[in-house]
Structure 1
Amino acid sequence: MLKRLFWFLVGLAAGLVIASKAQAYVRSHTPRMAREFVLGPDQDNVTLRTLGSLIEDFQQYRTEKETEMNASYAEKFGRR
């Protein structure tokens, strides 16, 4: 179990380092207009915007699924 956790954390750290190096490379080797087209005008907060969008999508899916499950439960066991 500890080996798996160790290798998971090593992979996570390596992924973060590679992602940050790739982002720095893209920033230094592409023209400003191309970067703004791909990453948007607020290039300093791309990671935070992406993470925020992922959390928002997850919350939306969670509420939809919860509503669906509640309706199914109510239909099966609830109001008659």
Structure 2
Amino acid sequence: MFKRVFWVAAGVVLGVLAVSKATAYVRANTPDKARQFLLGPDQENVGMRTLQGLIDQFRQAQQAREEELNRQYTAKLS
């Protein structure tokens, strides 16, 4: 169990580092119009928007799975 938590945490950290490095590269090496197209108008909070999007996607998947399991158990009890 500890190994799984470790590797998931390592993957999250590497993902955050990769996104931040890619964002820094794009900011440094692209013209303003292209940057606005790629990163959006709020270029300072790209990391937080990305993280918030991941959290929202996780919650949606979790909620969908919970509803699926509730339907399965309700069908078994009926």
TM-score where L is the length of structure 2? 0.72
Aligned twin of 1:42: 42
Structure 2 stretches lacking a partner, 5+ long: 1-5
1:66 partnered with 2:52: no
CA distance in 1, matches of 2:11, 2:73: 41
Q: Which residue does the alignment assign to 1:3?
A: none
Aligned length: 74
The higher-RCO structure (CA 8 Å, 6+ apart) is: 2
% identical equivalent positions: 47
Q: TM-score, normalising length from structure 1?
A: 0.70
Please report the RMSD computed on the Cα atoms of aligned residues, expressed in angstroms: 3.0
Q: Which amino acid aligns with 1:28?
A: A
Query: Which runs of 4 or more aligned residues in structure 1 lie more than 3 Å from their structure 2 counterparts after TM superposition?
Result: 8-22
